[in-house]
Amino acid sequence: MTATGGDVTPTSRSAPSKVAASPLHLAACREVDSTGQIDEALGLAEHLRDATWRVDSAAIAPVDAHGGLIVAGMGGSSVGGRLAAGALGPRLRRPLALAMGYEVPPWIGRETLVLCASYSGSTEETLATYDAAKSAGAPRLVSTTGGELAEQARADGVPVIPLPGGFQPRAAVGYALVIALEAARLCGAAPSLRDEIEGAAALAGELAREWGPEGSEENEAKRLARALHGSFPVVTGAGLTASVAYRWKCQINENAETPAFASKLPEHDHNEIVGWAGAERRLSAVFLEDPRAERRVVRRMEVTAEFAGEGAAVVERVCARGETRLERLVSLVLLGDLVSLYMAVLRGVDPVSVHVIDALKERLAGDTP
């Protein structure tokens, strides 16, 4: 899956021999991964399929929303909207935007559907956007396991898509993606991708077996984790892969407790490219490539990777797999999730731990008058 064409040959200057020899088989992963986060990642195919059933079971009536769709959420709960926009791409018929904060765009009203996504149902920013959308008279849709958000939605007669409990929010990415795609369909912003969802689920199942802990020690996910270990990854995408680059960054942040950054071409080439000369082998460069991208995008990524190599600890060009846009996007999502989890194992960090986020919430709650 790694592309090595063009002028770049991936290198791994930063990976010490001890790490290169570290096992990433199932037993080694379970020693670190106390709650089975790797198993959740490997269950992506099942999650994609189950999500469609949950949408159907909610019996949501379509709305003709000429203003399009707003996906309001934070962290792992917001990722579905970002990925859905990437999967839909040129097939979008109406706007699809994100609201990641306490407010919704001031222009929304009765012709804009707002999907409020909060896994816990208690995310303060999403509760605020729900109230703002209600005040604006916008039709709403809620995705959650329960909490205050579900209570408010049911009291207001707003449809609730119930999520399964027991996940870390970021591990429910399959649900978040499908629900955002279905919300776009329901409001007239995009066509149905039901056939592509089944194809993406089938591919995810195949790749989970190939890249999982019981797969070869030289499989793509394990190899990339070892290559990136000890550096701070900058993950760059373009078009379809730009949204997945952000997903990789967030997963490496949370699962491996490692600084990581996301970038997007062609904007990267108007500023960040200059910084690679001063990276001093501390940053690694990962380029997520779509084999169906237009030629000028492919060439730009090749040349950008060459310049990044002047200062990067390692340069990796990773190519999506699959036939449809959704399949290719899902392949990269699964790969990035597994890479981040293997990086956690190499660091000896339990990927379930997000103590600093919990501490932050406690500190802020204590500031509330």
Q: What is the CATH number of the domain that holds 221?
A: 3.40.50.10490
**What is the distance, to the nearest Å, from the Cα of residue 169 to the centroid of all Cα atoms in its chain?**
11
User: Quick one: 83 and 174 in the same domain?
Assistant: yes
DSSP assigned state of 62: P
Q: Active site residue: 66, 306, 323, 361, which one?
A: 361
Beta strands in the chain (DSSP E): 69-72, 96-99, 113-117, 140-144, 160-162, 232-237, 261-264, 283-289, 315-319
User: Quick one: 159 and 51 in the same domain?
Assistant: yes
What pLDDT sits at residue 20? 62
User: Quick one: 253 and 166 in the same domain?
Assistant: no
What pLDDT sits at residue 12? 42
**What is the distance, to the nearest Å, from the Cα of residue 249 to the centroid of all Cα atoms in its chain?**
8
What pLDDT sits at residue 9? 37
Residue 253 belongs to some domain of the structure: yes
**What is the distance, to the nearest Å, from the Cα of residue 6 to the centroid of all Cα atoms in its chain?**
28
What pLDDT sits at residue 11? 41
Whole-angstrom Cα distance, residue 33 to residue 353?
10
Structural domain harbouring 299: 17-24+217-347
Strand ranges of the sheet holding 232-237, from the earlier edge strand across to the other edge: 261-264, 232-237, 283-289, 315-319
Residue 171 belongs to some domain of the structure: yes
62, exposed or middle or buried, with CB in 10 Å at 0-12, 13-18, 19+? exposed
Judge whether 324 and 199 are in contact, CB under 8 Å.
Answer: yes
User: Quick one: 50 and 106 in the same domain?
Assistant: yes
- Identify the sign of the CA torsion 121, 123, 125, 127: positive
Residue 165 belongs to some domain of the structure: yes
Whole-angstrom Cα distance, residue 241 to residue 248?
10
Q: Does 266 sit behind a cis peptide bond, omega within 30 degrees of 0 on the bond before it? A: yes
**What is the helix, strand, coil percentage profile of the chain, to 5?**
55, 10, 35
What pLDDT sits at residue 367? 77
Q: Active site residue: 254, 289, 316, 327, which one?
A: 254
User: Quick one: 245 and 185 in the same domain?
Assistant: no
Respond yes or no: is residue 249 known to be catalytic.
Answer: no
Respond yes or no: is residue 254 known to be catalytic.
Answer: yes
What pLDDT sits at residue 366? 79
What pLDDT sits at residue 362? 85
CA atoms within 13 A on the CB side of 70: 29
User: Quick one: 184 and 281 in the same domain?
Assistant: no
Residue 362 belongs to some domain of the structure: no
What pLDDT sits at residue 10? 41
What pLDDT sits at residue 355? 83
Respond yes or no: is residue 361 known to be catalytic.
Answer: yes
Buried b / exposed e over 327-363, threshold 16 CB at 10 Å, is bbbbbbbbbbbbbbbbbbbbbebbbbebeeeeeeeee
What pLDDT sits at residue 18? 61
pTM given for the model: 0.93
Residue 365 belongs to some domain of the structure: no
Q: Active site residue: 18, 218, 270, 362, which one?
A: 270
Q: 271: which residues sit within 8 A by CB, 6+ positions away?
A: none
**What angle is formed at CA 15 by the lines to CA 14 and CA 21, rounded to 5 degrees?**
170
Whole-angstrom Cα distance, residue 211 to residue 267?
32
User: Quick one: 274 and 326 in the same domain?
Assistant: yes
What pLDDT sits at residue 1? 64
Q: Which one-letter amino acid corresponds to residue 314? A: V
Judge whether 122 and 77 are in contact, CB under 8 Å.
Answer: no
User: Quick one: 222 and 193 in the same domain?
Assistant: no
> Both tokens of residue 161?
């898509």
User: Quick one: 193 and 113 in the same domain?
Assistant: yes
Output the tens digit of pLDDT for each of the chain's 369 residues.
655 433 333 444 444 456 666 899 999 999 999 999 999 999 999 999 999 999 999 999 999 999 999 999 999 999 999 999 999 999 999 999 999 999 999 999 999 999 999 999 999 999 999 999 999 999 999 999 999 999 999 999 999 999 999 999 999 999 999 999 999 999 999 999 999 999 999 999 999 999 999 999 999 999 999 999 999 999 999 999 999 999 999 999 999 999 999 999 999 999 999 999 999 999 999 999 999 999 999 999 999 999 999 999 999 999 999 999 999 999 999 999 999 999 999 999 999 888 888 888 888 887 765
Residue 368 belongs to some domain of the structure: no
User: Quick one: 256 and 339 in the same domain?
Assistant: yes
Q: Coil, strand, or helix at residue 260?
A: coil
Locus of tokens 């910084």:
275
Whole-angstrom Cα distance, residue 245 to residue 154?
35
Residue 4 belongs to some domain of the structure: no
Residue 251 belongs to some domain of the structure: yes
User: Quick one: 167 and 222 in the same domain?
Assistant: no
Number of domains in the chain: 2
User: Quick one: 46 and 167 in the same domain?
Assistant: yes
